[in-house]
Structure 1
Amino acid sequence: MNILYVAVSCNPYNGSEDKIGWNVPWEMSKTENVWIVTRRDLKKSIDKFLGDNEKRKLKMVYVEMPEICNKVFKGMLQSAKLLVWQRKAYPIVEKICRNEKIDIIHQITPIEFRAIGKYGKIEGVKFICGPLGGGEYIPSGLKKYAFRSVLMETIRKMMNVLSRRKLIKKKKIAQCDYIMFANSETKEFLLKRYKDNEILRNIQTEVVSEIAIDKKEIIEKKVRKNKKVIFLVAGRMIYRKGHRFLIDALKKIPKDLEYECRIVGVGPELKKIQRECNESKLSEKVVFVGSIPYTKMQEQYLEADVLIMPSLRETTGSVLLEALSKGLPIITIARFGGNIILDNDCAWLYDGRDNKTFVESLTEKLIECIENCGEIENKSINAIETAKKYTWQNKGRHYHNIYTNIVRKE
């Protein structure tokens, strides 16, 4: 089978979307002929990896991102930059499909639905998109923690609606043969305007996690050595990662309970959170670790007992599987992409109706961890078993089955 991946983000040495854009094609290239179309600025990292690893059926094609896009399209305009790159990539992809008899085009990154390309127009080639995210929103009970960024969230919502309208008008969704969604929220948001089932009759959809872990990264057993519970929070310190929400929950934990909360990351919210911890007399409980390189995060996972991901909105979060693979059970919201991967066997899932019930629910889960260390050890075993289900190797087999079924339909 000849498979072409469109992967705007694609770096073997990074996490997040770069990891997704690289690992799926790399896994597939064990047995299939694979082309990756990606950004030219990633060439150095990819060349290094290819030079250090086994040879596979893999061909790289690089497309320059116009320099003006990097200067003009920032922040909320990121989608516009990605679409400009897609327009540059399209004729190159079309030429490869014609010359190499490509069977499948899979746009695997970017994850966000706003940047779907028009590759479905290429005749004789099946087009798969996703897993897609970006249609998730902050629950009303947590909007308090985004009050400084109300304008940003409003603009994002408007852009989502306009993008959905544009996708319908240009029939980009109708041109897909298979669409994967990273969470149910995005699927519901993107497809609810397709009231006429005729449009979707020939399109298969699936909700499937976009993230995975290499089986070599999974430990066999977590050895817990800490006398007190050590919580770990990892991620850039921006408003939507929910650090202020977490601090409100920590304030409600009885003072006599022993625990430590380690926060890894830097960002615009750092000083505000540090100040709030000082004012709330949480300084002895909360430790700010600073920025840790992706390659060094394993040490943090191995030293901690439980990962907290208090995000206000999140497509999924690769940190979830990274933590599970090191035996860390998770505390996070019972929504978004995490809801696909996690259950009560390996996680404590909170939810709420309003701000009060959200904070109470998170506080309750934190106290459960602190007061019942035996439960942490039980969930740790299940965390490792859960991680084993979500390997790149398993994901490769799943995608291969999808590709094979779609090609056979002809």
Structure 2
Amino acid sequence: MGSDPGIGWNAINEIAKKHQVWVLTRKDNSPFIEAEIKEKSISELEFIYFDLPGADRWKKGSGLIIYLHYYLWQIQAYFVARKLHHNIGFDIVHHVSYVTYNYPSFLSLLPIPFIWGPVGGGESAPNTFWQNFHWRGKIYELLRNLMRWTRENDPFVRLTAKRSILAWGMTQDTAVKLKKLGADNVKVFSPIGLPQQEIDMLAQSLVPKTSPVIFISIGRLLHWKGFYLGLKAFAQANLTDSEYWIIGDGPELKYLQALAEKLGITQQVKFWGKLPREKIFKLLGESHVLVHPSLHESGGFVCMEAMAAGRPVICLDLGGPALQVTEDTGFKVSAHTPEQTVRDLATAMTCLAQDAELRLRMGNLARILARENFSWEAKGHTLAQTYAEILSSPESLTSSSAI
């Protein structure tokens, strides 16, 4: 699984390769965890399962109810952890999930070094792009900003920040938020990774040598994913011997289909809908370039997958994708205004469509970057190294260079 569950599971497995780890998690996770432990003979992890009374009813509620459940569960986690610490004597406490900067972790109250994150969620769509959002998108952004402001002023969120020996932000935007909340030692580190076997599998993907050149976008069709920018740029580039594939489903589907018709590119654009992972990888293998114009995103698994497959990436110079993609592996387009962004995306598309050698060179460098930096093993090495620094000399963290 991606997102929080995937980050949590892979992080603790990597940490357990070099440390004894006790994991506090909800009871409803136990069937999946125990099945995985039995299948793979994992013995280095000790799981402590607990939940609030009536947990099933909590999870059927609205977003506010779910947030309240999380909040109360975190309080309960503190008392469970305090008792365990009295009996075991932990060296470090690490909040791994949720990976959201404005949710408190009461485990920071334990009298041992506390690591927060990496957490994300501090990214925002540039204000100039709001003019292109329909009313639902604008309401979403307004409510998102209001909720973030409210949670940022939660005294327990600020206490979490102040008590952290290290606060990791998934992006520079979130790192700035963590600093404002009162965290003294803030660094940037992306926690998302790919299994080594998946990296190896994707590395075998051969780039098609035949035309047309196929651009591909993958993700949920949401307003902030920016797929409308990709369509406008593709139309502006006027690449008659190219196609644009969009994989995914969501509330923006009809709008994007209507936009493609309005732009006169319906014959070159194909909407594949929601597909299983195996089919997505197959289509990725038939394409040449990933286009990922997301306006606010902490992670960006799809960019890592495309680079592991040897595909150059065109993204915006925002959020998580901007940290993954380099000048050697793709194009990072500045996002000042919609018009400028579409223009620069079109230029990048044209450049890659017309230069097969550039596509191949960027793709090969992307594959190398993915192999060396994007595996869960590489992420685990950073975590283990950080633990070692804290245990040997906590002061060394504040003087070392940013991660």
- 1:273 paired to 2:261: no
Range with greater deviation from structure 2 (391-400 or 163-172):
163-172
What is the CA distance between 1:399 and its match in structure 2? 0.7
Once residues 120 and 67 of structure 2 are traced to their aligned partners in structure 1, the CA distance between those partners, rounded to angstroms, is: 13
Mark the runs of 5 or more structure 1 residues left unpaired by the alignment.
Answer: 1-13, 195-199
Q: Check 1:233–1:78 CA distance in 2 against 1; reply closer, same or farther (3 A cut).
A: farther
Q: Check 1:79–1:153 CA distance in 2 against 1; reply closer, same or farther (3 A cut).
A: farther
User: Could you say which residue in structure 1 is the equivalent of 2:139?
Assistant: 151
What is the CA distance between 1:80 and its match in structure 2? 4.1
Once residues 360 and 196 of structure 2 are traced to their aligned partners in structure 1, the CA distance between those partners, rounded to angstroms, is: 21
User: Could you say which residue in structure 1 is the equivalent of 2:397?
Assistant: none
What is the CA distance between 1:138 and its match in structure 2? 0.3
Range with greater deviation from structure 2 (304-313 or 47-56):
47-56
- 1:360 paired to 2:347: no
User: Could you say which residue in structure 2 is the equivalent of 1:257?
Assistant: 240
1:305-316 aligned at under 5 Å gives the runs 305-316=288-299
What is the CA distance between 1:147 and its match in structure 2? 3.8
User: Could you say which residue in structure 2 is the equivalent of 1:175?
Assistant: 163
- 1:212 paired to 2:223: no
User: Could you say which residue in structure 1 is the equivalent of 2:113?
Assistant: 126
User: Could you say which residue in structure 1 is the equivalent of 2:383?
Assistant: 399
User: Could you say which residue in structure 2 is the equivalent of 1:20?
Assistant: 7
1:343-354 aligned at under 5 Å gives the runs 343-354=326-337
User: Could you say which residue in structure 2 is the equivalent of 1:67?
Assistant: 56
Post-superposition Cα deviations, 1:119-161, rounded to whole Å, max 9, x if no partner, equal 11112x2211111111111012322333422222122212222
Contact map agreement 2:16 2:44 (CA 8 A) in 1: yes
Across the aligned residues of Structure 1 and Structure 2, the Cα RMSD in angstroms comes to 2.2
Mark the runs of 5 or more structure 2 residues left unpaired by the alignment.
Answer: 395-403
Give the aligned residue type for 2:166: Y
Sequence identity (%)? 24
Range with greater deviation from structure 2 (374-383 or 266-275):
266-275
Give the aligned residue type for 1:152: Y
Once residues 215 and 261 of structure 1 are traced to their aligned partners in structure 2, the CA distance between those partners, rounded to angstroms, is: 29
Post-superposition Cα deviations, 1:30-80, rounded to whole Å, max 9, x if no partner, equal 232122222332323222222221333112222336234323332x77644
Q: Check 1:326–1:77 CA distance in 2 against 1; reply closer, same or farther (3 A cut).
A: farther
User: Could you say which residue in structure 2 is the equivalent of 1:341?
Assistant: 324
Question: Secondary structure of the residue that 1:192 maps to in structure 2?
Answer: helix
Give the aligned residue type for 2:113: K
User: Could you say which residue in structure 1 is the equivalent of 2:91?
Assistant: 103
Range with greater deviation from structure 2 (237-246 or 286-295):
286-295
Once residues 157 and 325 of structure 2 are traced to their aligned partners in structure 1, the CA distance between those partners, rounded to angstroms, is: 36
Q: Check 1:221–1:72 CA distance in 2 against 1; reply closer, same or farther (3 A cut).
A: closer
* Higher fraction of helix: 2
Q: Check 1:307–1:170 CA distance in 2 against 1; reply closer, same or farther (3 A cut).
A: closer
Q: Check 1:45–1:134 CA distance in 2 against 1; reply closer, same or farther (3 A cut).
A: same
User: Could you say which residue in structure 2 is the equivalent of 1:117?
Assistant: 105
Q: Check 1:44–1:384 CA distance in 2 against 1; reply closer, same or farther (3 A cut).
A: same
What is the CA distance between 1:376 and its match in structure 2? 0.9
TM-score normalised by L of structure 1: 0.88
Question: Secondary structure of the residue that 2:38 maps to in structure 1?
Answer: helix
Once residues 119 and 20 of structure 1 are traced to their aligned partners in structure 2, the CA distance between those partners, rounded to angstroms, is: 19
